[in-house]
Each structure stands twice: as structure tokens, then as C-alpha cells.
Structure 1
């Protein structure tokens, strides 16, 4: 599957931005303040200066380390994906680099399978997950900083040959593709049971690891994929000769997840993201990737899906 032209054009800008961000972050040192620098990180024409007040909120161990680490499956463009040069790019990396510039910290984005993100944070291997849906069962394990409207789409081949509609029972007996370890995997499993309860054929569930879901759909390995809204909408718009949307459902928020014993880091991250929203940087990043309609009203912690129910 080819990445849409618009996203490819953004890659060079993002890669350059990441380099600048890391260079600025290298100026940060442990102690009571970050080293001053005349350089200012710029992304898509927006300046993102270092903020001493937010830096002062960080826990001491993060100041001493001078960096934050983030886990991503990098399998959901334009949110996050690997470009042709092997760089992890997208909306989320852009936001992360802006966070790093604001706090004067290095930001490390590491590729990981989706189902390993939460265990990686629990074990201390990473500071944050990046694509965790804010649902009650997840809040039992992590604190969640909501920063991205999300949901799912039913992405099918152009022409919708299997007749998938918003009625989920039209997927009974079909090959349905999801990412392993996601809420979608659980929901499709439950839907398959509903199919059987209704006297219909069960779903042939196909779970994938670190795969762009439109790839097996285009290869006719599955009949429909339950894709995230940002990726599904982009793919359908950019490749209408190959894909279309059978339905779109906004259902919650994507969050940065971290351990519950890190309240200082949690609050600093929430206020840093809110600062980026208030200064217009957040909106600029989302607009650049064609994701402006997925911008939240404000950055929240452990939200109860407040305006999407």
C-alpha cells in the first residue's frame, strides 16, 4: 500500500523538525532549570519555545534523565507510521516533538506491537503509550491523558462487494481484520457470538500485528477491516478506486498512557499538551495532516468519553 502523496510531502518537514527538536532537547540538563538556548523549535511555521514553568513541574527523575520515551505500533497513518526512510512520523510524533521542545527534553519514539505497549509502560521500559483508547478497563491499569478524538470505521474494498452496512450483523460470516490487542479485536469477538446467537455464520476474525490494515484488505485476505477513524478516512479519501467507508463511528479518545504512580509526570504532560493547544501549535499540526476535525476541545485526564457518547 502506498502512503498518500500528502503524507509523503510532510515527511521531510517532520524529519527535519525531529532533528531540531532533539538538538534543542540535548541542551536540557538535570537540576532546577534547563540550559538556555537562543534556538526555538519551529514546526509548520509555528514557534514552540522552551517553557520554564512547565519544566519545573517535572519530577526530578525525568529532569535528571533529560528525556521521555514513547511506545507506538507505527501502523496507523497519518497518526503514526514508518516512512520510506525508516523514520517514525505522523501526527503523534509531531505532537511528541513539540512536547519535547516545550519541556527541553529529548523525546524517544520506539516501535512496538500494540498489544505490548501497556505492558511496556507497566514494566518501566517506556514512559508513555501513544495510542491507548480511554476506556474504563484501561483506567484500572494506567492514567490516560486524552488528546485525540477517535473511533472506528468499517473499511471495505471499493464498491463494497460484500454489502457491509452500519448494521454490524452484515459482517456475519465475513473475514474481518483488526489489529491484535485492540478493543476492536474484543468487539469483533463479541459480535461473532451475536452472529451465532442470531443463527448466522460466525465471523472469521483475522488479527494482525504491526500491519497497515488496508494492505490485507487490498490483497483480498479479508472482506472488511475495523480501522481507526484517522487512518480509515485518509485511505478512503486518497484511494477511492481501492477503498471506501461502509460506516464511521466516533466512540472515544486516544490517550497517552502512563503508570498510575507518576502523578507529577501525568499532570505536567496534560498541562504541556493544553499549552500547545492554547498557543495554536496543536491545531496547526492536526490541520497539516488533514486531521483537524479530530481535535479535542481540551486536554483531559481519564475522561469518561464526555462528548462522544
Structure 2
């Protein structure tokens, strides 16, 4: 939900070219179980919505989505190397409604926005919707989320205040995420109070950041709530959550000059809401209470600086 993404960061992101896989070793599908939600609701092509799909996608028969599969249970790689989770299920179902197929392309988070801008793929699946990012991208918001700080289970405190209690500590984050800016803000508060600054360490994916806590190379990892809560719940002997805050929605990102495709995809997602498939997927992946069934556009807040 995964840094302060103003114009400066977008410029920096444009230099990122790597699109390598970033599966989280601690998010192995071997230990991830989706809920049994009863009889599966079948998804079929909707002729009216399929007619909304721009001709180039109809001819191609597919669209491509870049995804960083390291935020279980929203998006992660299972023990067989397959990308699974809420958003892959959601986009695959939407593609069926649209009468085309979905191609998922693994990528590092900080390369997703520039890759979308350069049209290497059609969709970013998915990132935090913030006003700074809306300057470049339109977002279909499908899930409310937030930010959380994870530490080792033997960390000195069970609850902390970031602007006060992170001073002098080593805190990891995934490069290009909202947490980069939040850590910077906390560090400035520490310095203003006459304390040591926060020692921030950026990583390419949440697997590496999580490993830094596990190996005691970092005191904490500040990341998106779904992944933080999932790992703390899965391994309470290793990790715990010491801070949590709701900050904004996850959105499926699409270039602003691709509005016809955006509208077709949103119509397909709303069809999934209508048929009950969206709720079934929300329940399957344990995201009850975080649903955004109206699929609004660009509702994210401004990033804290």
C-alpha cells in the first residue's frame, strides 16, 4: 500500500527499469489458506461490457497487469510459483466478464508506475491510491487498507508511537511505498525533539524487508497492513504488530489516456459486485470489513509529508 510520491519521486521512478520477480519467502502459499466460501459463483462473459472493451484489446484477446506478489493475502506467490490472492482472482474474473484474458507480469514495486507510463503493460495491480499518484494514473479503488509496523515478537514494546518511539531504530520499508515518506516524517520529528534520527533501510520487496527483521538487521518493518497482519498472525512466535493505521484504498491503476479501457474494467468489476462474486472473493481471502463495492475512482487521500 504500499513513500512520498510527489513529482520528484515520479521522476525517480521513471529511471527504474527492473521488472524482476519479488516473491516473499515468508508468504509461501504452503502456509496460506483461503477460506471455504461454499459453492463457487460462476463468472461468464457479459456481451454489453465486452463491447465496451477497446478494439486493440479485443484483437489481442488479453490485457497485461504488472503485479508485485509480496502482499499476502492480496497478492503473493504460492509454493508452486503461481501468483495468487485477492487481486489476481478479481482481475481474472473481470477479464472473463470482458471476454478477454489476463496476463500477469511480475515486477518490483518501484518499477510499476514507470512501466505503466511507458505502456509496457496496461494495468498496475495494485498500489495505494494517493492524490500524488492520481496526477499520472487513474485508480479503480477496490479495497480499503492501511499501514502497520511489524517487529520481532520480543521487541521491547507492544504498542508504539512512530514519531516518538522509532528514534534511533533501524526501520525497513519497500522502496517507492507510502511508508518511505512516513518514516521520513517520523525521523524529522525525532530530530526536532533532540533525539536520534530513524535509520531507514529501503528494500526491493517486502520479503527482503521482513527477512531483515527476522535476522535482526532491522528493528522494524513499516509496510502495508495486509502483509504485516498476515505475517504476524501466521508467525506470532517471530513477529508482532506494534502500530496500525488506516490511510487509504488499494486501487487498480490505469493510465489516464486509457479511459475507455478503465471504464470497461470498472464495469466488469461492478458486474462481479452485482453477481456476488466480489463478496465471495473478499470472504475467500479474509478481507471482510475492507470491501469497497462501489469501485470508486480516485478516492485516495494526500500522502503525509
Class of the TM-score when normalised by the shorter of the 2 chains: 0.7 to 0.9
What is the match of residue 71 of structure 1?
A: 66
- Which structure 2 residues correspond to residues 243-262 of structure 1 after superposition, within 5 A? 243-262=239-258
Compared CA separation, residues 252 and 175, structure 1 to 2 (3 A) = same
- 1:232 positional shift: 1.4
- TM-score (normalizing by structure 2): 0.84
- Which structure 2 residues correspond to residues 143-162 of structure 1 after superposition, within 5 A? 143-161=138-156
- TM-score (normalizing by structure 1): 0.83
What is the match of residue 267 of structure 2?
A: 271
For 1:2 and 1:259, the matched residues in 2 are separated by 32
Q: Which digits, 9 at most, give the CA deviation of each residue in 1:92-116, with x for residues without a partner? A: 1111111111112110111111011
For 1:208 and 1:47, the matched residues in 2 are separated by 39
For 1:2 and 1:237, the matched residues in 2 are separated by 12
| Structure having the higher Rg | 1
Compared CA separation, residues 44 and 153, structure 1 to 2 (3 A) = farther
For 2:39 and 2:136, the matched residues in 1 are separated by 36
For 1:290 and 1:252, the matched residues in 2 are separated by 18
What is the match of residue 93 of structure 2?
A: 98
Compared CA separation, residues 227 and 131, structure 1 to 2 (3 A) = same
For 1:230 and 1:223, the matched residues in 2 are separated by 20
- 1:164 positional shift: 5.1
For 1:162 and 1:67, the matched residues in 2 are separated by 49
Q: Which digits, 9 at most, give the CA deviation of each residue in 1:222-252, with x for residues without a partner? A: 1111121111112222221111111211110
For 2:174 and 2:157, the matched residues in 1 are separated by 21
Residue 297 of structure 2: which of 282, 301, 306 is its match?
Answer: 301
Q: Which digits, 9 at most, give the CA deviation of each residue in 1:186-244, with x for residues without a partner? A: 22122212211111101110111034232221111211111211111122222211111
RMSD: 2.2
Matched, 1:141 2:125: no
What is the match of residue 288 of structure 2?
A: 292
Q: How many residues align?
A: 276
For 2:95 and 2:262, the matched residues in 1 are separated by 15
Give the unaligned 5+ runs of structure 2: 1-24
- 1:263 positional shift: 1.1
For 1:57 and 1:287, the matched residues in 2 are separated by 29
What is the match of residue 218 of structure 1?
A: 214
* Highest RCO, 1 vs 2 (Cα 8 Å, sep ≥ 6): 2
Residue 231 of structure 2: which of 228, 235, 256 is its match?
Answer: 235
For 2:112 and 2:122, the matched residues in 1 are separated by 10
Compared CA separation, residues 304 and 179, structure 1 to 2 (3 A) = closer
What is the match of residue 183 of structure 1?
A: 178
- Judge conservation of contact 2:29–2:79 (CA < 8 Å) in 1: no
For 1:120 and 1:4, the matched residues in 2 are separated by 26
What is the match of residue 202 of structure 1?
A: 197
Compared CA separation, residues 202 and 145, structure 1 to 2 (3 A) = same
What is the match of residue 87 of structure 1?
A: 82
For 1:120 and 1:2, the matched residues in 2 are separated by 27
For 1:300 and 1:114, the matched residues in 2 are separated by 23
Compared CA separation, residues 293 and 163, structure 1 to 2 (3 A) = closer
Compared CA separation, residues 7 and 70, structure 1 to 2 (3 A) = farther
